[in-house]
Amino acid sequence: MSVIIRTENLCKAFGESPVLRGVNLEVREKALSAVIGQSGTGKSVLFKTIMGMLKPDKGKVWYKDIELTALKNDALIAMRKNFGYSFQNAALFDSMTVAENLAFPLREVLRIKSRSEIRRRVTEILDWIELPGVEGKRPDELSGGMRKRVGVARALVMRPEVLFFDEPTTGLDPVLSETINNLVVRVNKELNITCVMITHDIPAAFRIADRIAFLDQGYIVAEGTPAEVVKSEYQMVRDFLRISFSELNV
């Protein structure tokens, strides 16, 4: 698989608190990758810095053969259309219906004017995520799992090449978590979209991801296939995985 996203010595601090200290990461095209690690280690900051939502203090981000960190603001915004972002809490507009939430990026980002085209694409993606007929509902009328799926649909309706999932199963019970994990796999395998996910569901990550990167102390300290990461000699990785998998047997 070719590399679609690459970071080089990526650094980001907030005031006197460094978060990313020199992240070197490669994301393989068409693969499903997972970024794991302890809470508060900067995984969401890494995603947002890659997308240009946050400006790095140092380092470079490449998308294919384009250095995103060298682009002017307008060019970066245009390039960002290749990326989708599924937020941890879905981040739907409460005052809008499901259809209006999904239509929003089509109108405001892609500048699609045709109402029939917008309606077609909204219906198509809701059918694909197996939520037909919810167009008129508002977010507070949906279950937690349904809101998560609509959040994914809003990212997918833009037809991105890369889709970032920020903790897609947080707050869901095991059955709903499995449904969302299966949806991530479908996005990757059926739509051929490069998927990168942050998750604390470590067993699921090792089950569904093609590649895993472990972020600790501002660095990627282990990266590779699940089998390769399991064999890491880095102590935090070993402890983290031991505890994560032992909890399944409690």
- What's the chain's length in residues? 250
Q: Which two tokens stand for residue 21?
A: 């200290």
Closest-CA residue to 129 (of 199, 205, 187, 197): 187
Instruction: Determine contact, residues 47/199, Cβ cutoff 8 Å.
Output: no
Q: Which two tokens stand for residue 208?
A: 């569904």
Count of domains forming the chain: 1
Instruction: Determine contact, residues 184/31, Cβ cutoff 8 Å.
Output: no
Decide if 87 is inside a domain.
Answer: no
Per-residue pLDDT of the chain (250 residues; tens, 9 = 90+): 799 999 999 999 999 999 999 999 999 999 999 999 998 899 999 999 999 999 999 999 999 999 999 999 999 989 999 999 998 877 889 999 999 999 999 999 889 989 999 999 999 999 999 999 999 999 999 998 899 999 999 999 999 999 999 999 888 888 989 999 999 999 999 999 999 999 988 999 999 999 999 999 999 999 999 999 999 999 999 999 998 887 655 4
Closest-CA residue to 84 (of 105, 62, 55): 105
Q: Which domain covers residue 40, as residue numbers?
A: 3-67+93-249
Check: pTM over 0.85? Answer yes or no.
yes
Decide if 78 is inside a domain.
Answer: no
Decide if 124 is inside a domain.
Answer: yes
Amino acid at 6: R
Decide if 100 is inside a domain.
Answer: yes
- Quote the pLDDT of residue 38: 92
Nearest 10 degrees: Cα torsion 142, 189, 7, 68: -70
CATH of the domain at 21: 3.40.50.300
Q: State the Cα–Cα distance between residues 125 and 130, nearest whole angstrom.
A: 9
Decide if 53 is inside a domain.
Answer: yes
Decide if 126 is inside a domain.
Answer: yes
Measured from the Cβ of residue 216, the count of other Cβ atoms closer than 10 Å reads 18
The β-bridge partners of 11 are: 21, 58
Decide if 112 is inside a domain.
Answer: yes
Decide if 188 is inside a domain.
Answer: yes
Q: Is residue 67 within a helix (H) or strand (E), and if so which, with residue range?
A: strand 66-67
